[in-house]
Structure 1
Amino acid sequence: MSLSRPAHCVPRQQECVDALVSAGWSRQATQIAVSQSQTQLTYAELEQHVARLCGRLRALGAGRGRRVGICLERTPHLPVAVLATLRAGAAYVPLDPNYPSDRLAYMAEQSDLCVLLTESALVTVLPAHDGCTRLVLDDPAEQPALAAVTPVPADAGLAQADDAAYLIFTSGSTGRPKGVSVPHRAVANFLRSMAQEPGMAASDTLVAVTTLSFDIAVLELLLPLYSGARLEIAPTRVAADGTALRSLLESTRATVMQATPTTWRLLLEAGWRGSPQFRVLVGGEPLPADLATALALRSEGVWNLYGPTETTVWSTLWKVQRDSTTIRIGRPIRNTQVHVLDAQGLPCPFGVPGEICIGGDGLSDGYPFDAAQTAERFIADPFATEPGSRLYRTGDLGRWMSDGQLEHLGRRDHQVKLRGYRIEPGEIEHCLRDLPDVADALVTVQTVSSGEPALVAYIVARGADTPSPTALRAALRQKLPAYLIPQHIVPLTALPRLPNGKVDRGSLPVPEHAAMRVCTPSFTDPREQRLVALCRELIGQDTITGEDNFFDAGGHSLLALRLLTRLEAETGVRLNLLRLANSSLRAIAEELPDGITPDTPETPARSGFRQKLGRWLGLPGGAP
């Protein structure tokens, strides 16, 4: 007997996403559908924009079996572009404007785009692609053509339930991103399930913070519009800044937000207090118990969500219990089956770990550009009664607990989740080995002295001279997005090996004990000395100097906010996050007030600030 946990099942409905999402818009025509700052679209205006853009896309050749690239900033154009593409019968392909141009060009070429939706500020991000028409949405010259098209109504029926709704690229172990094709029926099932639990109502306001290239944006952009709620789109700079995001949540009176644990910590560190009506949706990486407790104290409820891209965003969910010391990933969403299988493909008993395998209506169509990988990961479902049913082998380990809930236990392979991103270390290793100065490389996640998990690259130099971390990161940025750039780069004479030839990961040194350079710089400016000391503490690198850039030295957005918060507590000055990203620490130090000492005393004001910060984080005793 299978120990799978099927969610409640309903007859499969052959629905297309746009028709499902827009079905109720006419009943709430005057209500705000999408907003950002002073820009607002009612549901009637949203329908007009979608219908006209769909007509223009159809005139340019978009339709069933075709793909439309979307390379836009986070504005109200974004949901319009997604829904117009789906209404046209085509699949949308997210192209993040912050990705390196080579990566975007590869994704566009693989996808064989017929149209690229973009805006004037991003026209140069992607090179021209044969057979692909650029549609620049904010170009005045395009407006007459948009005005002249025949609007396409929501019930045009230009797509079928089994057609692809989107093609999304994830990190790939071969050195190139791999595409996953997700059909309309899977997205429709997902939206119907999420609307029921965790739930979404017309009275809700959801703040969307996730880039379109991360599949959890499907929930943020489509679920509010399906439910008749209000979608508030946070600009990229706001989504990355805890203080600005807190202000947006409070000013919009938001009632729900979905984000990774990293973003929720940013909010807590910025002093967000939540409200009894607020729902917290967390996913993308493991939810720490302390964070779950802190969020539960500030909200109506915290939902821990789990699911790989290949099974359409989220496949299981669990409402956090305030007195729980163990975090679960819960039970399957509707029309979804979850099995925990052993090496022979048999169900594991309660409490026994095995591989999590997922079946049901949420399954994607696999990897359209890699038939072998699709056959390996999508296997025949031995428990299904329907012929042709499949299971997706997630590579995640889990076990069923006695309370009927699923617990996540990590990975079978070396794939990792860090700050919400799915990372194949093999992709980074491949790019490092392609560099002329690197003979071998291995990438893993280590917990550094700051207590934070960090992406660490171990390299073996090709010649006598070891390349600098700055040079290596600069080279990697030409090929990889920011979330794949290692925070620490450690040189080794050779990778440690076991007798069988495999890398001995247990013998890899922690970064702080294998610095790429040894220096004990003298400081003439106490402000620079204090700033460098804080950066060394937060990043866990004792080789940082005033010449370094915070992010080049291994920092990331969460650590950056912690740095700015500490500096504000000590000096009363709040520095700009973008300035930190684009300047050396020495230049940043010059903006600090005179009189700061290398070891600032714990003044009553600073002590009170730290106590408040600790309470916001839900830590015993207050101080972090």
Structure 2
Amino acid sequence: MRVNPHRRKYPIDVEGHFEGTAHGVPAKTEGSSRGFLDGKERKYAMTRNPKNPLADFDIPRGVCMHDLVAAQAARTPDATALVFKERSITYGELDRLAEAVARRLLETGVCAESIVAISAERSVEQIVAILGVLKAGGAYAPLDPSYPDDRLTAILRDARPALLLAQKRLASRLTGFDGPVVFLESVDWTERSPAAARRGAARADNLAYVIFTSGSTGTPKGVLIEHRALVNHGIAMARCFELGSEDRVLQFASLSFDVAGEEIYPTWLSGGCVVLWPIATGVAPIRSFVEFVEAERITVLNLPAPYWHQWTDELNRVGIPSSVRLVITGSDKVSAEKFSVWRKHARPGVRFCAAYGPTEATITTTVFEPEPAFVSGADCLPIGKPIANAEAYVLDSDLRRVAEGDIGELYIGGVGLARGYLHRPDLTAERFIRNPFSADAAARLYRTGDRARWRPDGNLEFLGRVDDQLKIRGFRIEVGEIENVLRRHPAARDVVVTGRDTGSGEKTLVAYVLVTNDRRPTAEELRRFLKARLPEYMVPSAFVLLKSFPLTPGGKVDRRQLPPPQLERDEPGKEYVAPRTELERRLVEIWEAMLGVRPI
């Protein structure tokens, strides 16, 4: 096992922030402006070894996330906590509004372990709602209004929420739910009763939220995250990112994607300001995004890798706003070539972190922060080392640790592991196994399905999915290898290779290539490029040129939305000869069905 080799206990008593206070919430401190990290903590964080972004700490006993946010509100009630367009609210207002939501939920019977589905568009009320659910003791399950009705129905059917908390204008799309509904518009935002919500206070081992991720079958599955895991993540990332009251952190991700929690909670634990991205659906042009960041004086950005890649492609035109001091990117492979471009444009002192983590391990598991002298020998950046109280193992098929440099499957352990999957004990037992390296009988590991290896410098390198291996006409193929080679073509900005069913039970390789209008290679040009570098069986049968990849709300490439290829002959120099006999016609039909290409 490799866990941060320089680990040591963080030199501060985390629980000291909450000693002698009911529910961990300290008395209001007039004039206080410090965040969850005080000066001594900040100094330690800023002088730590950059190879070890996080050190282990003792998690506050019995404290839930809403307790920590309430503690911050008590310390800095007049500081700005949340901004959306022209509206902003202070920490004091955030706490009061969330109490109002909690009070309304408690009246309907919400308590610990109650799942509350939330359907709301981007707004102050949407963010207040999730905190209100936590204060009532419940767990929130976000419903993204941009999702198709069928997916929303499937999530509601699986979640079986105790209650739906929604904006009235969205209710008509949620007709499949026949339980109680509370409209945000009906909440009495003016009444003050701060003690009311505490009757529903959850414990650290109760659920905080349920995030639905796509399953391999296409059916969403709910991941159950407890308060203990969320608190650990929030404190760990606040330290790693060195967040403070001066920070303005962009809330970019959809609430239905777990990284939204990384944008919100560590910021609030540090006394910073969360600034909501105003675009509800779709991806804005890079220039509009940069102009917004500059106008809002954003200091910290947490972006999906595909969008950050687009930004690096346009750095010559749009640059990096002077307010930005930290950029985190993840959710997908982070291109080493793009990072080289970024580093040339970024001014000294702008930090860059590549983050990795499945939803099942509470947002982020590992972080990589390149040193100034870092030079990548691979196509993608490493994914780094485990965060505080996390463990990473690279194991073979017999659950034995592999040697440094050898490839295995990545397993994750530690405090951040999810409870499991909602209503899926079979899948939970399959993916969450007992930790054979721990003396604690309750310790578990999560099987990520990701291939990885340890580098000599102690960082993990991500090598793709175990199931990225395809079998095409009897050959076992790693699509990542094809992608990496094709990315070297001067016209290819990015590449995704998939296996598509031809309709005859066989699969064929299809390459989706991101290009610009001024440089559009032909499929034959790309095919020749690959034939010079790869075996024939690894050359895709079809190439689809795109201006942009379809993205999920979480920012990953949405492979299910990639357009089907027009599988046609692409050899303009050769004359097509039609079959001349019945035997030739039958043979052509067989080969067209096998290859998924017509005519041949």
| TM-score (ref. length: structure 1) | 0.68
SS at match of 1:26: helix
Among residues 290, 296, 316, which one is paired with 1:252 in the alignment?
296
Please give the per-residue CA displacement for 1:310-359, whole angstroms capped at 9, x wherever unaligned.
00000111112344232221111111111111121111111111111111
1:71 aligns with 2:72: no
1:181 matched residue in structure 2: 224
Q: Quote the offset at 1:452 in angstroms.
A: 2.7
| Closer/same/farther in 2, CA of residues 126 and 557 from structure 1, 3 Å limit | farther
Counterpart-to-counterpart distance in 1, 2:252 and 2:392 = 29
Counterpart-to-counterpart distance in 2, 1:382 and 1:157 = 37
Which residue identity lines up with residue 309 of structure 1 in the other structure? T
SS at match of 1:125: helix
Counterpart-to-counterpart distance in 1, 2:102 and 2:524 = 52
Q: Quote the offset at 1:195 in angstroms.
A: 0.9
Contact (CA 8 Å) 1:209, 1:239: kept in 2 or not?
no
Contact (CA 8 Å) 2:3, 2:385: kept in 1 or not?
no
Counterpart-to-counterpart distance in 1, 2:388 and 2:402 = 22
Counterpart-to-counterpart distance in 2, 1:62 and 1:559 = 38
SS at match of 2:126: helix
Counterpart-to-counterpart distance in 2, 1:304 and 1:390 = 26
Contact (CA 8 Å) 2:497, 2:512: kept in 1 or not?
no
Counterpart-to-counterpart distance in 1, 2:523 and 2:90 = 48
Counterpart-to-counterpart distance in 2, 1:368 and 1:246 = 39
Q: Quote the offset at 1:455 in angstroms.
A: 6.7
Q: Quote the offset at 1:450 in angstroms.
A: 4.3
Counterpart-to-counterpart distance in 1, 2:521 and 2:355 = 29
Q: Quote the offset at 1:263 in angstroms.
A: 1.8
SS at match of 2:58: coil
Among residues 78, 100, 117, which one is paired with 2:165 in the alignment?
117
Which residue identity lines up with residue 402 of structure 2 in the other structure? C
SS at match of 1:534: coil
Trace 1:204-603 onto structure 2 (pairs within 5 A).
204-236=247-279, 240-268=284-312, 269=314, 271-275=318-322, 278-296=325-343, 297-298=345-346, 300-326=350-376, 327-414=381-468, 450-454=492-496, 458-460=500-502, 494-496=504-506, 508=509, 510=511, 534=517, 537=520, 555=546
Contact (CA 8 Å) 1:292, 1:302: kept in 2 or not?
no
SS at match of 1:40: strand
Contact (CA 8 Å) 2:499, 2:509: kept in 1 or not?
no
| 289-298 vs 164-173, greater mean Cα deviation | 289-298
1:466 matched residue in structure 2: none
SS at match of 1:159: coil
Counterpart-to-counterpart distance in 1, 2:445 and 2:165 = 34
Which residue identity lines up with residue 390 of structure 1 in the other structure? R
Contact (CA 8 Å) 1:170, 1:179: kept in 2 or not?
yes
Q: Quote the offset at 1:135 in angstroms.
A: 2.3
| 118-127 vs 62-71, greater mean Cα deviation | 118-127
| 86-95 vs 399-408, greater mean Cα deviation | 399-408
Which residue identity lines up with residue 388 of structure 1 in the other structure? A
Which residue identity lines up with residue 374 of structure 1 in the other structure? T
| Closer/same/farther in 2, CA of residues 276 and 24 from structure 1, 3 Å limit | closer
Which residue identity lines up with residue 305 of structure 1 in the other structure? A
Among residues 15, 28, 40, which one is paired with 2:88 in the alignment?
40
Q: Quote the offset at 1:510 in angstroms.
A: 4.6
Please give the per-residue CA displacement for 1:362-392, whole angstroms capped at 9, x wherever unaligned.
0001112211111111111111232210011
SS at match of 2:462: strand
1:199 matched residue in structure 2: 242
| 98-107 vs 272-281, greater mean Cα deviation | 272-281
Contact (CA 8 Å) 1:28, 1:43: kept in 2 or not?
yes
2:590 matched residue in structure 1: none
Which residue identity lines up with residue 18 of structure 1 in the other structure? H
Please give the per-residue CA displacement for 1:220-269, whole angstroms capped at 9, x wherever unaligned.
12221111101100122585332221111101111101011222233342
SS at match of 2:421: coil
Contact (CA 8 Å) 2:64, 2:202: kept in 1 or not?
yes
Please give the per-residue CA displacement for 1:262-290, whole angstroms capped at 9, x wherever unaligned.
22233342613243851011110111012
1:10 matched residue in structure 2: 57
Contact (CA 8 Å) 1:245, 1:267: kept in 2 or not?
no
Counterpart-to-counterpart distance in 2, 1:365 and 1:265 = 34
- Identity over the aligned pairs, expressed in percent? 32
1:21 aligns with 2:64: no
Counterpart-to-counterpart distance in 2, 1:53 and 1:401 = 48
Which residue identity lines up with residue 354 of structure 1 in the other structure? G
Counterpart-to-counterpart distance in 2, 1:27 and 1:11 = 22
1:107 aligns with 2:155: yes
Q: Quote the offset at 1:54 in angstroms.
A: 0.7
Q: Quote the offset at 1:557 in angstroms.
A: 5.1
| Closer/same/farther in 2, CA of residues 233 and 152 from structure 1, 3 Å limit | farther
Which residue identity lines up with residue 386 of structure 1 in the other structure? D
Counterpart-to-counterpart distance in 2, 1:5 and 1:351 = 17
Which residue identity lines up with residue 534 of structure 1 in the other structure? N
Please give the per-residue CA displacement for 1:81-139, whole angstroms capped at 9, x wherever unaligned.
111011111110011111110110110121111222222332222114122x22222x3
Contact (CA 8 Å) 1:511, 1:541: kept in 2 or not?
no
The alignment yields a C-alpha RMSD, in angstroms, of 3.2
Contact (CA 8 Å) 2:118, 2:165: kept in 1 or not?
yes
Contact (CA 8 Å) 2:495, 2:512: kept in 1 or not?
no
Q: Could you list the runs of 5+ residues in structure 2 that have no partner in the other structure?
A: 8-54, 471-478, 526-543, 552-600
Q: Quote the offset at 1:149 in angstroms.
A: 7.7
SS at match of 2:158: helix
SS at match of 1:52: helix
Counterpart-to-counterpart distance in 2, 1:554 and 1:253 = 36
| Closer/same/farther in 2, CA of residues 557 and 378 from structure 1, 3 Å limit | same
SS at match of 2:382: coil
Contact (CA 8 Å) 1:275, 1:298: kept in 2 or not?
no
Q: Could you list the runs of 5+ residues in structure 1 that have no partner in the other structure?
A: 416-424, 426-443, 462-493, 497-502, 513-531, 543-552, 561-624
Counterpart-to-counterpart distance in 2, 1:538 and 1:222 = 45
Please give the per-residue CA displacement for 1:495-529, whole angstroms capped at 9, x wherever unaligned.
54xxxxxx5xxx635579xxxxxxxxxxxxxxxxx
Counterpart-to-counterpart distance in 1, 2:156 and 2:547 = 28
SS at match of 1:379: strand
Please give the per-residue CA displacement for 1:425-444, whole angstroms capped at 9, x wherever unaligned.
9xxxxxxxxxxxxxxxxxx8
SS at match of 1:68: strand
| Closer/same/farther in 2, CA of residues 459 and 278 from structure 1, 3 Å limit | same
Counterpart-to-counterpart distance in 2, 1:538 and 1:82 = 48
Which residue identity lines up with residue 297 of structure 2 in the other structure? R
Which residue identity lines up with residue 252 of structure 1 in the other structure? E
Counterpart-to-counterpart distance in 2, 1:409 and 1:229 = 36
